[in-house]
Structure 1
Amino acid sequence: MLKSISDFQLSLSRRRFSPPAVLATVYAVFILLGAIVLRLPFSNTGDVTFEDALFTAASAVTVTGLIVVDTGSDYTLIGQIVIALLIQIGGLGLMTFAALLLSMLGMQFGLPQRLVLRDELGQTSLRDLGQLVRLVIIVALICEAIGTAFLMTVFVPEFGWTHGFWQALFHAISAFNNAGFSLFSDSLVGYVGDPIVNITITVLFMIGGLGFVVLADLYQKRRWQTLSLHSKLMLSGSLVLIVWGWVMVAALEWNNPGTLGALDSTGDRLLASWFQAVTPRTAGFNTLDYAQMETSTTLMTITMMLVGGGPSSTAGGIKVTTLIVLCLATLAFFRREDRLTIFGRSLGIEEIIKVLALTSLSLFLVLMGLFIASLTYTGDFLDLLFEVTSAFGTVGLSRGATGELDSVGRAIIMVIMFVGRLGPLTLGFFLAQKSKARVKYPDGKVFLG
């Protein structure tokens, strides 16, 4: 299987396909293969169509978590194992697994495959890719094993050893990969006041959402002063977003009888507001019903889903670093500065242009998807906006609109999930062709704002 994937990638590279194109093709193939397996009789209970299986496979590989059928009841144990494998492969990266296993088999990982792996891991250099791949796998396995052990203390007494172990393992894999798939029909609403479930799940998807480059930097340097600029931006930006989200969710929902107001103790309310504050960062689990939330909280959640987590992580969105650079560029404009500076480092025009391109493509994708889906959707507009943004950020949170979409709406959501997982810039690099201007024109003046 791995040899055929490697040969397939090599044949594509010989035809001068760009690494982003190869990466997109491989992901699409795995989604199709996953859909075929999930449609087989031994994978589902008989009520799953190929369209349902295709949507589930796309959601799993893109680690989104949006569903059109119930994962726990409509898929058999084999189907659930397939979904867990698709989540693991999609979250850590297809090329990551291929690189690790090919190296274990003593097979050479050539330059074309290394170029694709570099794009998948969000790196700018081919150096130390092997070391980063090993770190990705080791961190994932350790975190998922520890998470499974903690969750077993809750699920085993409730479901027994076999079923409890599977519940713990599945949710640990889903959480670390920021997938949001749950074997419970109401996600984790039944465990809204359980500190072990809440803390374990949130720690797992926060570690996965930081990015493996940050984790490697923390492991190697372990001191704030010696961390890279990227790591400092991710850690400080994530902390600000988490605290801000926690305070805002608690303030906006404290007396809402459909959410926090229905909980008896202050501790449960604080725990639930914490969970809902961090889960929009592409995790997709929920312990409260998002359909019952205030409009203000819903809009704030949409904003957090659009931002997402960190580059080279299991998270989606435009990324925390993109938001920070946008803010820095705005401040630099008002201060009449020609360069961005933070933490004793400066950022040039290339970073700003890349951020502007990423943000523009992301907003265009969300707005275009929203427009096309709205042509056939008759429900509430806010619910649809929530769903489309959740798909782009590969979050998986839902206000119930996904199950009401027709075939066109589902297709749009799948495309948005796919592009959201690969990254809008991947699509941009795939479509764009580098060219050098033969004629230079004099500078012009455009009035903006």
Structure 2
Amino acid sequence: MGFIKNSRNTYIKFKLGLSPQQTLFYGFLTYITVGFLVLSIPFLQHKPVAWIDNLFTAASAVSTTGLLTVPLTDSYNFFGQLVILILIQLGGIGYLTFTTFVILSTTRKMTHWHQKILQTEFTLPNTLKIKDFLKSVVLFTLIMETIGIIMYFFAFKEVGFTFWNAIWSAIFHSVSAFCTAGFSLDPNGFTAYLDNGLINATTSILAISGSLGFIVVTDLYLYLRNKDHSLSFTTKIIIYGFICLLTLGTLLLYFTEPTLSTLESKERFMVSFFQSMSAMTTVGFNTIDFGLFSQAVLLITIFLMYVGASPSGTAGGIKITTLTAILAIMKSGLQGNKTVTFLRKRIPKDRLQIATSTFIFYTLLLILGTLLVSYTNDFKFEDILFEVASALGTVGLSTGITADLDSFGKIILSLLMFIGRLGALTFGLAIWYKSKKNVKIINEEDLAL
């Protein structure tokens, strides 16, 4: 009993000594480790799967990416697929989110430790309270995934699925789409449903709902419930930015991609919209082979994956708000203004610092990841860059080289997927965290630019 008590005290002391960023780091790392160990059990496999592929699959599921090095249904049986689905749900909804929701539902009290972790994982504007936000996360997730299951069920029944296959496929794809994971039970993804309006619409609704983020959902809900509640500046930027980038991506694919020229106008628009939506929401589903696209369109897709959608949502990337802040900094700098504004609103300096750090560190990770994978894998540069951008952005789109990467390349992509889910800035703070007690006052010096 004494050993158990001492071990428990040691663990509590270790846990409380971690920064919120480090807690998230170890939390998601634990999810991946447990997932890897469970998926390595032969009982869950149709055929033997190498350890590196089990690790890659676990990292891809927890990070809600969708990249795979082995065929999902050929490698894992129903129970293996169920484990993957659970990992996707845990990764999508966030670390400690469901646990804290249960605590709030029973005791209506949130510990200071839980509050610190959640405020770090979900960056919120000052107009939203963490308790209201947390409830909306869980309830909105359940509602949207249930709607998705119903819509997918009828869609899969319509294309000839048996009753039970339609149910399982509907459940799996609904969770995968809302969490923007991009895992599919079909080895060819959704390429067989290029012109299927119901499947395209269901996937788009779920992915956009998840990627726009729980900030927007909570803000809109409070606005509809109470007209005195005004939409936050963050929500407006996310909605405007998302519409502009999605429209731009769709039009560029529609008018510039030679591969789509053989399709009829309606199908061409559906394909252009779906691929742009998939890249930007980082859902990772595709209705056409990205390996056929031109270099220009691949670059457009990489940019959309790089940006992503909304903070505190299921999407990856640097986020629309970060891009907005960077553009505002650039505009103010070129105009010689000391105050950084956007749409006649001044952006706080601490938010600008976070945006700049995220932009620089994320870009460095993208470059470094591409460099490392290029060292040991002989593929076209644009294919490797696309793959790395997809992994870091937790997207899951691929030009078809994932399964052919060597073990080193798979490990690098696994690490990038983990960083992408954790968030580049959170990862950096977890690695380089220093207690404020140890910070020394440094004299200011000028730097010519």
Per the normalisation by structure 1, the TM-score is 0.92
In the other structure, the counterpart of 2:189 is: 187
The aligned runs of 1:39-438 (5 Å cut-off) are 39-104=40-105, 106=107, 109-123=110-124, 128-157=129-158, 158-222=160-224, 226-253=230-257, 255-256=258-259, 260-263=260-263, 265-281=264-280, 282-430=282-430, 431-433=432-434, 434=436, 436-438=439-441
The one-letter code of the counterpart of 1:252 is: T
CA contact (8 A) 1:339 1:348 kept: no
Judge conservation of contact 1:237–1:320 (CA < 8 Å) in 2. yes
The aligned amino acid for 2:117 is V
Structure-2 change in CA distance of 1:330 and 1:376 (3 Å) = same
| Distance (Å, rounded) in 1 between the aligned partners of 2:346 and 2:47 | 58
CA distance, structure 1, for counterparts of residue 220 and residue 54 of structure 2 = 39
Q: How large is the Cα RMSD of the aligned pairs? A: 2.2
Deviates further, 427-436 or 118-127: 118-127
- The answer for unaligned runs of 5 or more in structure 1 is 1-5
Aligned to 1:315, what secondary structure does the other structure show? Answer: coil
Q: 1:9 to 1:139 in 2, by over 3 A?
A: farther
Tell me, yes or no, if the aligned pair for 1:118 and 1:124 is still in contact at 8 Å.
no
Please say if residues 224 and 232 of structure 1, whose CA atoms lie closer than 8 Å, have aligned partners that are also in contact: no
State the AA in 1 paired with 2:256: L
Q: Distance in 1 between matches of 2:9 and 2:149?
A: 36
Question: Kindly tell me: are residues 84 and 272 of structure 1, through their superposed partners in 2, closer, same or farther at Cα, counting changes over 3 Å?
Answer: same
Return the letter of the residue paired with 1:272.
V
CA contact (8 A) 2:53 2:70 kept: yes
* Contact 2:279–2:304 (Cα < 8 Å) also in 1: yes
Aligned residue type for 2:97: T
Give the secondary structure class of the aligned counterpart of 2:66: coil
- Which residue of structure 2 aligns with residue 440 of structure 1? 443
**Separation (CA, whole Å) in 2 of partners of 1:22 and 1:439:** 29
Partners in 1 of 2:10 and 2:205 — Cα distance? 37
Whether the 8 Å contact between 2:42 and 2:48 is mirrored in structure 1 is: no
CA displacement at 1:445 relative to structure 2: 4.5
Q: Structure 1 residues 286 and 439 mapped into 2: Cα distance closer, same or farther (>3 Å)? A: closer
Query: Could you tell me how far apart the structure 2 residues matched to 1:215 and 1:238 are?
Result: 14
Specify whether residues 365 and 251 from structure 1 end up closer, same or farther in structure 2 by C-alpha distance, changes over 3 A only: same
Deviations 1:266-305 (A, max 9, x none): 2111111110111101110000100000110001101111
Tell me the number of residue pairs that the alignment of Structure 1 and Structure 2 aligns.
435
Residue 124 of structure 1, CA deviation = 7.2
Distance 2:289 2:100 in 1: 40
2:4 is aligned to none
User: 1: distance between equivalents of 2:397 and 2:350?
Assistant: 34
| SS of corresponding position for 2:346 | strand
Match of 1:3 in 2: none
Offset at residue 126 of structure 1 (A): 12
- Residues in 2 aligned to 1:8 and 1:97: alpha-carbon distance in whole angstroms: 25
Q: Say if 1:131 and 1:373 are closer, same or farther in 2 by CA, change over 3 A.
A: same
Q: Is the 8 A contact 1:96 1:117 kept in 2?
A: yes
CA distance in 2, matches of 1:77, 1:8: 39
Deviations 1:168-199 (A, max 9, x none): 11111101001011111111000000011111
1:95-136 CA-partner distances (Å, limit 9, x unpaired): 101212344565964222321122122247798323222111
- Listed one character per residue, the Cα deviations across residues 117-170 of structure 1 (whole Å, up to 9, x for unaligned) are 221222477983232221111101111111111111121241111110111111
* Letter of the 2:143 counterpart: I
Write the distance in 2 (CA, Å) between the matches of 1:10 and 1:397: 40
Paired-residue identity, %: 33
Match of 1:42, SS state, is helix
* Superposed displacement of residue 345, structure 1: 2.1
> Is the 1:316–1:393 Cα contact (8 Å) retained in structure 2?
yes
Contact 1:190 1:287 in 2 (8 A): yes
Contact 1:36–1:50 (CA under 8 A) maintained in structure 2:
no
**In structure 2, distance between residues paired with 1:22 and 1:8:** 15
The 1-side partners of 2:10 and 2:419 are apart by 21
Structure 1 residues 105 and 45: alpha-carbon distance in aligned structure 2, compared to 1, 3 A threshold: farther
Are the aligned partners of 2:132 and 2:218 in contact in 1 as well (CA < 8 Å)? no
With structure 2 as the length reference, what TM-score do the two structures score? 0.92
Segment of structure 1 superposing worse, 75-84 or 189-198: 75-84
- Relative contact order, higher structure (CA 8 A, sep 6+): 2
Q: Spell out, residue by residue over 1:376-397, the C-alpha distance to the aligned partner (whole angstroms, 9 max, x if none).
A: 1011111111000001100000
Residue equivalent to 2:23 = 22
Post-superposition offset of 1:211: 1.1
Provide the C-alpha distance between the structure 1 equivalents of 2:373 and 2:277, rounded to a whole number of angstroms. 27
